[in-house]
Structure 1
Amino acid sequence: MNILFVCTGNTCRSPMAQAILQHKTEHNVQSAGLFAGEGMPASEGTSEVLKQEGISSDHKSQPVTEDLIKWADLVLTMTQNHRDMLKQSYPADTGKIFTLKEYADPNYENNWNELKEAYAQLEEAKLTGSEIDPNLLDQINQLEKQVQNVDIIDPFGGNYMTYQKTYEELDNYLELLVKKIDNKDR
């Protein structure tokens, strides 16, 4: 499978995700940035965290291109904004563009379906003039927060601990991604 990770400048999150996934699997992995220059190394924080984790990386940044989008079977972004910009720029490829969190996390789809059901219950109560259960409103509130929290922390400009937190978050979701992809390949 060809997997493309996308962030803003292709020096922090997406090269970190690329290196981690290449370390874990044999899939073809690249990364790019929406506003990336050509040939920049990974940020010092990204390089240091990967080195501490025993993961090698010889990263050179690249901008997102139509050829990269076509090459990819799956495009995983670091934020909703990245996802939405790519979907707008490449409308023929929207079916393979997701945030990493929404694609990899099995709970995301469940939460999204629960939210749709809760909204349906709310609309039904409004239409029939029934009293609205306050627990339903609390449930909607909680589910909305969960489905909207799909951005990976941006460590840019942060200290080593900030990069380490981003690494841990990426590693967690990439473990989920590997399980999902491996199950699809069977």
Structure 2
Amino acid sequence: MIHVLFVCTGNTCRSPMAEAILRKRCGENIEVKSAGIFAGEGTPASPNTAQVLQEKGMECQHSSSLLTQDLIEWATCILTMTSHHKQAILYSFPQSGDKVFTLKEYVDGSGDVSDPFGGPIEIYRETYAELEPLIEQVLSKLK
């Protein structure tokens, strides 16, 4: 079983979106979760995240989680939205170095996934459009 953990800042926009996309496409041999390096526990996904996922035919029953040692240990692969997130994880959990990548780095690219937080719905749609092909590449790489 492969365990994929997506990480962003507050676990209300990008990482829940990435989690939902992969969950919809992955088979039974992949489990997926998301967390935030500065997340409050139990916060729902942002309304715009929920709306974009609903527009794409995905239910959004998300509840935010703070990144913990248990989640680090659970994960086979940790994919962050930015290099800052990756560095924060490596600083707090140095033993995780061999399984932490930025999402774009993991699929042989570079750069960060844009943050839609606080923006209009169009920005969330753009972030979804940015994430979707990256998640497809992740899925191809994991299989």
TM-score range for the pair, normalised by the shorter chain length: over 0.9
Q: Given the alignment of the two structures, is residue 25 of structure 1 paired with residue 26 of structure 2, yes or no?
A: yes
Separation of aligned partners in 1, 2:48 and 2:114: 14
Aligned-residue offset at 1:104: 1.7
Amino acid at match of 1:166: T
Q: TM-score, normalised by structure 2?
A: 0.95
- 1:117 is matched with none
Q: Given the alignment of the two structures, is residue 52 of structure 1 paired with residue 55 of structure 2, yes or no?
A: yes
Separation of aligned partners in 2, 1:7 and 1:163: 15
SS at match of 2:113: coil
SS at match of 1:63: coil
In structure 1, list runs of 5 or more residues that go unmatched: 109-146
Aligned-residue offset at 1:172: 1.1
SS at match of 1:152: coil
Aligned-residue offset at 1:88: 1.1
- 2:125 is matched with 164
- 1:143 is matched with none
Greater RCO, 1 or 2 (C-alpha within 8 Å, sep 6+): 2
SS at match of 2:6: strand
Aligned-residue offset at 1:74: 0.3
* Structure 1: 4+ residue segments shifted above 3 A: none
Aligned-residue offset at 1:57: 2.0
Query: Identity across aligned pairs (percent)?
Result: 49
Amino acid at match of 1:62: S
User: Which structure is larger by alpha-carbon Rg, 1 or 2?
Assistant: 1
Q: TM-score, normalised by structure 1?
A: 0.74
Amino acid at match of 2:21: I
Q: Give the RMSD, CA atoms, in angstroms.
A: 0.8
Q: Which has the higher strand share?
A: 2
Separation of aligned partners in 2, 1:3 and 1:178: 10
Aligned-residue offset at 1:93: 1.1
- 1:2-151 to structure 2, matched below 5 A, reads 2-26=3-27, 27-105=30-108, 108=109, 147=110, 150-151=111-112
Aligned-residue offset at 1:59: 0.3
Aligned length: 140
Separation of aligned partners in 1, 2:107 and 2:6: 13
Q: Which has the higher helix share?
A: 1
- 2:141 is matched with 180
Separation of aligned partners in 1, 2:65 and 2:25: 22
Q: Structure 1, residues 10-30: CA drift from partner, whole Å, max 9, x if none?
A: 000000100110001031000
Amino acid at match of 1:20: I
Separation of aligned partners in 1, 2:101 and 2:9: 15
- 1:141 is matched with none
